Amino acid sequence: MAVTGRFRVYDVLYGFIELSKDEARLIDTSVFQRLRRIKQLSLANLVYPGAEHTRFAHSLGVYWLASKVVSRLVESGFVNEDEAALFRIAALLHDIGHLPYSHAIEFYYHSKFREQINDGFKLHEKLGHAMILLCDELREVIVSLGYDPKEVVALLTGTHRDIKLTSLISSDLDVDRLDYLPRDAHHTGVAYGLIDRERILDTLTILDDGRVAVDEKGVQAVESFYVARLHMYQAVYYHKTISGYELYLAKIYEELAEYDPEISFLASPQGLEKAIKDSTISLIDDYWLYSKMLQVLRDANAPNRVKKRIQNFLSRRGPKAIYNVSLFTHNPRRTEDVKQVVDMLIDCNVDADSILVLETTIKFLGTEDEIVYVRTRTGDIVPITEASQLISSLPRYYHVERVYVEREYADKALKCIKKSNA
């Protein structure tokens, strides 16, 4: 909806989000429109039926928050109008590289191409950077707005020379998290991700050396933000059933790559890069992968194994977690437990191909670079861990170690574990 040189879109959390007509041209690109067809929470709708919101809505939300933050920083002279516009563009495009079903398909690429994707960026981040630099349609709009695509990427990769803007992207309290926590809570219906956004926005500032800080009166709001993160990771992002289906979909994708020539081509970083260059990536979305699965079901010559998995997936008969450790800890944790469980299952003749593993550690409190600082009433600057007793006592890490097996092997696997524990 255009209103005298502005473009307005109604958001479920913020009401009207306004963009300039120029900025709206970014949204009109086919690669950005693709985000309308990628669910924000991948397969969370299998547990929370309301979780149907998209990366498109989230990206607009992050843009809105970025606009709020930088307009305050412009008023206080920390950044100029050009820097503010650059920050807004980076915020709008930060998720442009997501693949179908968001993080689910990334499991496949990260396990298959570990050597090529091992520098700390997630695949969707790397693809997003490539899209901004290589996708003609998007690059041309950025250039026509008077900005350098390389500068947008530098902001997203944390290599922009202006450390103030880089900090706003990479600190614990970034605009991405400020949007997705309440948005995902809203759509799933869980009562955990709520944060005092207005208070955080009102007290957020940047220190002279680039660190992100809040005024003392914002400490409680930051506490609620950290607590919301803990709860959302446990209840939604690493929900046992949802993670199982994500791993299952990645497994199906791997098998489709052996069977379907188009997926086979896209199932490597090089194939994805080519699809970005020729803009065919704009058609690679949730519906694309869904239709591929339906095609397989209709194909009399398709391998039975993949057909069965797709039927299980579509009928919500996904894998069962037979080993599950989800722990909040203050210290890092390293165990060989998952490997031992997998070895045990194989010894018990559970088909190795039916075993799926999830092992991850999420860091909740950043290092001194990333952590939020507090400007006290007396003007002192202290880390939030000193200003807040609550945050100092929160766990630093969330560990998830899980072994899933396909349902047909679940009883056998559980008996096997029970026997070994006896």
Partner 1 sequence: MLRSLVISKSINIVNSLLEDFIHCVYYFVEVFGGGTGYKFRWGVRGPYSDVLHRDLVRGILRKVKTDVWVRVERLMKRLGCDNSSPQTCLYLLSIAARLHMIASTVYPPVDDPVEYIVARFPGIKREDVERVWRVLVEEELV
Give the binding site for partner 1 (CB under 8 A). Answer: 118-121, 148, 150-151, 153-154, 157-161, 163, 166-167, 170, 208-211, 332, 334, 361, 363, 367-369, 397
Phi, psi of 392 (to 5 degrees): -65, -25
In one letter, which amino acid is 334?
R
User: Which residue's CB is nearer to partner 1, number 151 or number 406?
Assistant: 151
Q: Which secondary structure element, helix H or strand E, spans residue 359, and what is its range? A: strand 355-363
User: Which residue's CB is nearer to partner 1, number 270 or number 329?
Assistant: 329
User: Which residue's CB is nearer to partner 1, number 318 or number 383?
Assistant: 383
Provide, rounded to whole angstroms, the least separation between the CB of residue 396 and partner 1: 9
Provide, rounded to whole angstroms, the least separation between the CB of residue 120 and partner 1: 4
Distance CA 48, CA 102 (A): 16
Distance CA 373, CA 22 (A): 35
Provide, rounded to whole angstroms, the least separation between the CB of residue 154 and partner 1: 4
User: Which residue's CB is nearer to partner 1, number 104 or number 153?
Assistant: 153
Provide, rounded to whole angstroms, the least separation between the CB of residue 104 and partner 1: 22
The helix/strand/coil state of 24 is helix
Distance CA 344, CA 251 (A): 21
Cα torsion for 106, 110, 112, 114, to the nearest 10°? 160
Distance CA 328, CA 286 (A): 32
> What DSSP assignment string belongs to 284-298?
-SHHHHHHHHHHHHH
End-to-end, the C-alpha distance of the chain in Å comes to 66
Provide, rounded to whole angstroms, the least separation between the CB of residue 151 and partner 1: 6
Provide, rounded to whole angstroms, the least separation between the CB of residue 166 and partner 1: 6
Q: CA of 11: how far to CAs of 17, 59, 176, 184, 209, in Å?
A: 7, 11, 16, 13, 35
The answer to whether 12 touches 40, Cβ cutoff 8 Å, is no
Provide, rounded to whole angstroms, the least separation between the CB of residue 397 and partner 1: 8
The answer to whether 69 touches 52, Cβ cutoff 8 Å, is no
User: Which residue's CB is nearer to partner 1, number 68 or number 126?
Assistant: 126
User: Which residue's CB is nearer to partner 1, number 121 or number 328?
Assistant: 121
Provide, rounded to whole angstroms, the least separation between the CB of residue 175 and partner 1: 17
User: Which residue's CB is nearer to partner 1, number 158 or number 269?
Assistant: 158
Distance CA 95, CA 128 (A): 7
User: Which residue's CB is nearer to partner 1, number 140 or number 209?
Assistant: 209
